[in-house]
Structure formats: C-alpha cells, structure tokens
A and B are shown apart, each in its own frame.
Chain A
Amino acid sequence: MTVHIPSPLRSYTKQQAEVNVDGSSLEEVLSALDSCYPGFRFRVITEQDTIRKHIRIFVNEEQALDLSAALRRDDEIHIICALSGG
C-alpha cells in the first residue's frame, strides 16, 4: 500500500514523498517502514507504542488513534505533521 511521507521524515526515505510497503495493520506497516528506513518508527511512535503528540496518521480519510487499525491492500496511509507551534 502507499504511505505518504511528510517532509520532516523524508530524510529517512531518500526524499521520497510516497513509499510502498505491505502490512495488515498500522503496526505492521510501521515495522516495515522501520525495516526499510531504520529509525523512522521512533520519530513517529513513542516507546509506549502511542502516536506522538504532533503526529497524525490517517487511513484513507479516517484518523487512526492507535496502531491496531486493520488495513486492506488498497488503503492509503497519510502520515501528517500536525499543525502546531508558531
């Protein structure tokens, strides 16, 4: 499936704005991303497996609040750096 990568994380993905990985849940997708791009997951997910405060993850157009969301092969994942700060 396609994962859209925000600009602050593209140093991990060799500047790719979209990457394709497999997984049947967000947890699996993030593990796959971390395998391909070491260090990626910890910048987005805390050591307690929660989504970081200023990160949002959408499955298609629905926001995921944890990593358990089941995914279909044609889902699109958007990782967003939430509006914050000034």
Chain B
Amino acid sequence: MPTLKPATSLVVLLIGTRKGALILKSDRSRRTWKLSGPQFLGHIVHHLVLDPRDRRTLLAAARTGHLGPTVFRSTDFGKSWQEAKAPPAFPKVPEGQKGLVVDHVFWLTPGHMSEQGVWYAGTSPQGLFRSENGGTTWEGVTGFNDHPLRRQWTGGEQDGTPDGPKMHSILIDPRDPNHLYIGMSSGGVFESTDKGKTWAPLNKGCRADFLPNPEPEYGHDPHCVRLHPLKPDRLYQQNHCGIYRMERAEGRWIRIGEHMPKKIGDIGFSLVLHPRDPDTVWVFPMDGTEVWPRVSPEGKPAVYVTRNAGKAWTRQDKGFPKSQAWWTVKRQAMTADTHEPVGLYFGTTSGEIWASRTAGASWTCLVRNLPEIYSVETAEL
C-alpha cells in the first residue's frame, strides 16, 4: 500500500451554504482561522471544490431560488469567477416528449490526477456530466444519462431527498481513470470500468428497508460513499439503511454500523476517512427514527470513530453541547485534512463550523451564524 506523508501546510475550508460560499483559512498550527466571503451572496452553493492538480482552480456549483443552475470557475482561488459557457444540461428531446431538466448541480469531483482539466458533476435529478476544459463546458456522460434503464435505476422524482433526487459521491480510482463509482439518492451505488460507457449496480448486501423487496439490485439510498485513496479496493458508505464497508474483490457490502450503540443507531449523512489509515472512519449519526427528524440523537451531537474498519465504534463529543443542540451535518459537509494528528471539520445545518485538531478527541466551534451549510471541503495550500 502506498503511504502519504502528513502535511504541514495551511488548511483552507471551502464552505458552500444555502446563501453563498465562504472560505475559512487557518495558520500553520490550525489554531487561528480567518473567514472571508460570502461570495455569490444569495446563491445556493451546493459544492465548492479545489482542483488538487493545480491547487488554484476552484469550481462552485450554484443556483439561485429563481434562476437555473450553473457552475462558476475561478483560476485565482476565488479572486475572480467566470461562469461555465455550457453548464450541465440534459439533451433536448423531440416535441411532445418530456425531457429531463437539471434542477441543480449537486456534486463536483476533479478528474484523475493524470487528466488535467477533467471534472465530473452530479446533478438533481440524477445525471452525470463531464468537462474536459476545467469546467468551462460540460457534456452528459451518455452511458449513464441515456441508458435505457436509467429511469428504473433512479426511480421517479419522488424517489429522492426532500430537495430532489441526487447524484453524488463520484469517485475515481486513483490507479485507473476509467474506473468510476457513483452514488445516487435514490438508485444506489454503480460502477463503471470504461470511463462511464457502461454501468453496473454494486449494492449486494446493502439494505433498502423502504422498498417492498429490501434487498433489490438497485434503488438503494447511499448518502455518502468514499473510496480510500491508499487502498482503492476498499469502499465505505453511509447509507439511508446503515453504515457499510466493501472489499471490492468480495463485491458485498458488510453492515459495520451494526456495531454502533443501539440507542444511537447507524443512520447519518456524512462519512470521513483517515487519509493514511484505511481502517479509521468517522461518522456523524443523526436521528433516523419514525419520521426521520434529521437532528442529532436526543439533541446531543457526537462523532463516532472506528479504528478497525467498523468492528467497534467510539463516541467523540468533547467540546460539543451536552443537550438541546438540534443540528446535524449534511453529506458533503464533513471532511478531514492530511496533518498529524488529522484535522476534522464539519459544517452544521445551523450554520456553525466545528473543528478538531486532534482526530476527533476534542472539538471547537470556529464560526457561528452562517447560513445552513451544504458542503465543507478541505484545501491544503
């Protein structure tokens, strides 16, 4: 397995919110932070992501309440922005037919390190798009978007989140740019080994308790899927129906969330991997009982960590409110840096940014009073 040396660089948090984007920069010790922004004030920013190939280019997936969706691109780390000339859009269908319309761009993933300028975008409703010019123009990945089974895979418009069905967790095998995974709420996890020309469901072992057949081939609801960069044949997912791990050669999801405390359960949205240890994973559980309140269980926020690939979980809540804290964390709003100890960061539905410089052992609130936070990504400069 390759190794990764701990970083000592500045950590920058790229924050997407319901009302714009913000950037939070640390010093080298990660003790002092400076907030700048908002940019795109009033726009819904679902995802703000740095291109790790040049560490300068940022892409933002944005829309406003009234206007259609678009992607903005900055090549100077957010000083100036240009809008995509051709944002992700489904093809026009012949008169009399009902065609798909992109409601919003939900997810952005930079392409493989060897493919300069390549990006992928996932949309609501579920569509996969690719740019080969750094996000200036986007084309649909027809192997998915035009697949005759796409409608069956994804279900209807009602088969998604309250904010619409989504494609997310676009993962690229660091060994092979042709090997892709996607997650869909709903639809499940799918895999392609030919850069998106063909796709196959990858959901064996994963539950879909909300369907008449709880173990279908597809139709699942993964909330967040991660692939370990140093061990790419290991996948984790936080699903609507629990926390899972897969060794790709086995091809079956194992419910590692069964080892979570029963009164907490294993429902949540975000899942974060340790950058150097494929056995260490953090999750942020939420209340998924009865009507799905989507808040911290009992109003007591806590992170849970496993250091043995899901055999046992430990609660980490030092620094969090002890009661009456009814927030939670969305699927792309929790992340890690590559320092030692690992820094963990998340943004809440109540507009707070929390950080741990101690791999979750203790937590500090860095910022309060932001809009509802949709995404937090780490950039190390």
* Interface residues in B, total, Cβ within 8 A: 21
B85 touches A38 (CB 8 A): yes
A39 touches B66 (CB 8 A): no
Please measure, in the bound complex, the distance between the C-alpha atom of A44 and the C-alpha atom of B92, giving whole angstroms. Answer: 16
Check: B149 CB closer than 8 A to any chain A CB: no
Please measure, in the bound complex, the distance between the C-alpha atom of A44 and the C-alpha atom of B42, giving whole angstroms. Answer: 17
Known: A39-B83, A48-B99, A48-B101. A54 touches B66 (CB 8 A): yes
User: How far in angstroms is the closest Cβ of chain A from B139?
Assistant: 13
B90 touches A47 (CB 8 A): yes
Check: B68 CB closer than 8 A to any chain A CB: yes
Q: A31-63 vs B: 1/0 string, CB under 8 Å? A: 000000011001111111110101100000000
B70 touches A39 (CB 8 A): yes
A42 touches B66 (CB 8 A): no
Residues of B within 8 A of A52 (CB): 66-68
Residues of B within 8 A of A9 (CB): 67
Please measure, in the bound complex, the distance between the C-alpha atom of A45 and the C-alpha atom of B68, giving whole angstroms. Answer: 8
A42 touches B68 (CB 8 A): yes
Check: B310 CB closer than 8 A to any chain A CB: no
Please measure, in the bound complex, the distance between the C-alpha atom of A43 and the C-alpha atom of B347, giving whole angstroms. Answer: 29
B65 touches A54 (CB 8 A): yes
User: How far in angstroms is the closest Cβ of chain B from A85?
Assistant: 5
Known: A42-B87, A48-B99. A84 touches B65 (CB 8 A): yes
> Which secondary structure dominates where chain A touches chain B?
loop
User: Which of A47, A54, A55, A85 has the most C-beta atoms of chain B within 10 angstroms of its own C-beta?
Assistant: A47
* Interface residues in A, total, Cβ within 8 A: 21
Closest residue of B by beta carbon distance from A9: B67
B101 touches A43 (CB 8 A): no
Please measure, in the bound complex, the distance between the C-alpha atom of A84 and the C-alpha atom of B87, giving whole angstroms. Answer: 24
Residues of A within 8 A of B70 (CB): 39, 42-43
B67 touches A44 (CB 8 A): yes
Closest residue of A by beta carbon distance from B83: A39
Check: A67 CB closer than 8 A to any chain B CB: no
Residues of B within 8 A of A49 (CB): 92
B65 touches A42 (CB 8 A): no
Check: A81 CB closer than 8 A to any chain B CB: yes
Closest residue of B by beta carbon distance from A47: B89
User: How far in angstroms is the closest Cβ of chain A from B226?
Assistant: 31
Residues of A within 8 A of B291 (CB): none
B85 touches A39 (CB 8 A): yes
Check: B91 CB closer than 8 A to any chain A CB: yes
Residues of B near any A CB (own CB < 8 A): 42, 64-68, 70, 83-85, 87, 89-93, 98-102
Residues of A near any B CB (own CB < 8 A): 6, 8-9, 38-39, 42-50, 52, 54-55, 81-82, 84-85
A-B contact pairs, 25 of them (CB 8 A): A6-B66, A8-B64, A39-B83, A39-B85, A42-B68, A42-B70, A42-B87, A43-B67, A43-B68, A45-B68, A46-B68, A46-B89, A46-B101, A47-B89, A47-B92, A48-B90, A48-B92, A48-B99, A49-B92, A50-B101, A52-B66, A54-B66, A55-B66, A81-B67, A84-B65
